[in-house]
Amino acid sequence: MVKYTAKFCIGTRYGIHMRMRRKKNLEPRMEAVSDLLIPCVSDDLNFSTAADVKDYVDYRALFGNDHPVFLEIGCGKGQFIIETAKRHPENNYIAVEKIANVLVTAAENTKKEGLTNLLFMKTGAEYLNRFLPPHTISGIYLNFSTPFPKKSHRTHRLTHRRFLEIYRTIMADHAFIWQKTDDAGLFAFSIEEFSKSGFVLQNISLDLAEDEMEDNIVTEYEARFMEQGLPIYRLEAYLSDPDTWEEESL
């Protein structure tokens, strides 16, 4: 049986260096939601070589249809992705989370809601291109990603160029990445990384509440930061100019 161990949660407002207590009955709880978990165990823990082997998922077999597939990376307890999947039954969603402690709650709530268009991968974003076929993902949500404020930890930030290269390989033509964060340092870093990696940015907001974005779906962390009156930063990133999309697809 797979053992799900608790890890550290990093960040200041994100609970720096606090060891998360292992959830009671984690293994039976994970077992009870196993029908919502996409198998994605890699024997090779080195992400750069793990992705040399391909264990591609079959979306049609997983979801029973060919609807577009969207990802949330670092879904936490799943508030955002569950609400998104509820509002958009015409899409499929995969929520990726490396910590079983929180993923289990997201999967349990998905089951309670009876959603059939949302599945989960318990893995690190580092391994995504081992499991997801090239150019098949219609959009990626990065919500309140762990900021990893220490410079020496910057390669763990989910917008570091090594992750952007992974996303590039799985993103379909015309796919977007949507990022929201409360962390000014992470936001500035992300803008640099996106632009250095050839992404184009649009609709940058330095205060989402003030910009009154229609249909904003609030995440667990976002609700907490909004309550404290903190600004939320948001951007959209894509790889080619939408004005040329019609021409390109001719």
Ligand X SMILES: C[S@@+](CC[C@H](N)C(=O)[O-])C[C@H]1O[C@@H](n2cnc3c(N)ncnc32)[C@H](O)[C@@H]1O
Query: Is residue 199 a contact partner of residue 238, using CB atoms and an 8 Å limit?
Result: yes
Placement of tokens 């989910």 in the chain: 158
At residue 166, φ and ψ (nearest 5 deg) are -65, -45
Q: 94 or 239, CB closer to ligand X?
A: 94
Query: Is residue 202 a contact partner of residue 168, using CB atoms and an 8 Å limit?
Result: no
Applying CB under 6 A, among 23, 88, 98, 154 the residue interacting with ligand X is 98
Please choose, out of 19-27, 68-76, 132-140, 182-190, the segment that lies near ligand X by the rule CB under 6 A.
Answer: 68-76
Alpha helices (runs of H) in the chain, residue ranges in sequence order: 26-32, 47-50, 59-63, 79-87, 100-113, 128-131, 161-170, 184-196, 208-211, 220-227, 245-248
Locate 83 and state its tokens: 């609400």
Q: 69 or 104, CB closer to ligand X?
A: 104
Please choose, out of 58-66, 104-112, 131-139, 214-222, the segment that lies near ligand X by the rule CB under 6 A.
Answer: 214-222
Applying CB under 6 A, among 36, 106, 125, 132 the residue interacting with ligand X is 125
Q: Name the DSSP class of 99.
A: -
Applying CB under 6 A, among 42, 92, 146, 179 the residue interacting with ligand X is 146
Cα separation, 81 vs 70, whole angstroms: 10
Amino acid at 159: T
Applying CB under 6 A, among 40, 75, 137, 164 the residue interacting with ligand X is 75
Applying CB under 6 A, among 59, 97, 106, 238 the residue interacting with ligand X is 97
Applying CB under 6 A, among 221, 225, 233, 238 the residue interacting with ligand X is 221
Report in angstroms how near the CB of residue 154 gets to ligand X at its nearest.
Answer: 13
Residues that bind ligand X (CB under 6 A): 14, 73-76, 96-99, 102, 124-126, 143-146, 158, 219-222
